[in-house]
Amino acid sequence: MYQALLITLAALPVIIILFLIYFRDKNKEPMVLLIKLFLSGFLSVGIVLILNDLLSMFLPFMQKSLAEKTIVELLLYTFLGVALVEESSKWIMTYIFGYKNKEFDELYDALLYAVFVSLGFAFLENIWYVIRDSSINSALMRAVSAVPGHTCFAIAMGYNLSMAKFYEFKKDPCKKKKYLILSIVIPTILHGIYDFCLMSQYQILMTVFSVFIIVLYVFSIMRVAKVAKSNKKIKFKNKFCKTCGKVVTGEFCSRCGTRQE
């Protein structure tokens, strides 16, 4: 009974955030696609384990406990061994199953895709930590920190992937490349700052962490609201104008000027 309660507490924040992000999408994505993205988050856990084993072969300090690591080793561990490895793994799944998908035609879409992948990852991670610690306090702490944290990193990743897709259709390869790079770099930096401050246990860095997490949450909520409100099209399918019948490939008919829904 206690284990069931712990699993419920671990899963609940993931479910709540998924629904909140999903219902902000004006033009709903296929549920089959979203389930596939969520489950691909499970696969990203496997990629993380493989990459961590490879890194440990070249960076022996990766296997040290947090207490044994120097401040430089901790910095490398959090930014390289945790943040870059995890965000790259989630990025690969988002790119394969989301960015390349034919349904990706609005700015909000990649944000939604990245969150579903990231929370698939966070779901397994949360279950593992909560069962390992066998603590309700651990489940509650992760509900207000780790799960929202993963969501914020995913929002940054998804937004930049959307911008990359936008410039892909604008035939601007330089800006596409720029945003593809940012879609990994920015989440990695945010994730690295988050983990470094938290794992260091230095009082000043814990204070920085408190300010950082508030700013991160507020900015992410504002980003979601802004993108959901505009939900700009980045790809248009051929359709007939509802007024004059001309084939339209954009948002407005080139013959009569009627805006297409």
Report the DSSP beta bridge partners of residue 239. 248
Ordered by start, the domain boundaries in the chain are 2-230, 233-261
Please report the pLDDT score of residue 261 as a whole number: 58
User: pLDDT digit string (tens) for 174-213?
Assistant: 999 999 999 999 999 999 999 999 998 888 999 999 999 9
- Contact (Cβ atoms closer than 8 angstroms) between residue 193 and residue 258: no
- Distance, in Å, from the CA atom of 217 to the CA atom of 98, rounded to the nearest integer, reads 24
User: pLDDT digit string (tens) for 139-170?
Assistant: 888 888 889 999 999 999 999 999 999 999 88
Q: Which residues, 6+ apart, have CB-to-CB distance to 63 below 8 Å? A: 56
- Cβ burial, residue 37 (10 Å; 0-12/13-18/19+): buried
**In which element (H, E) is residue 81 found?**
none
- Distance, in Å, from the CA atom of 86 to the CA atom of 150, rounded to the nearest integer, reads 10
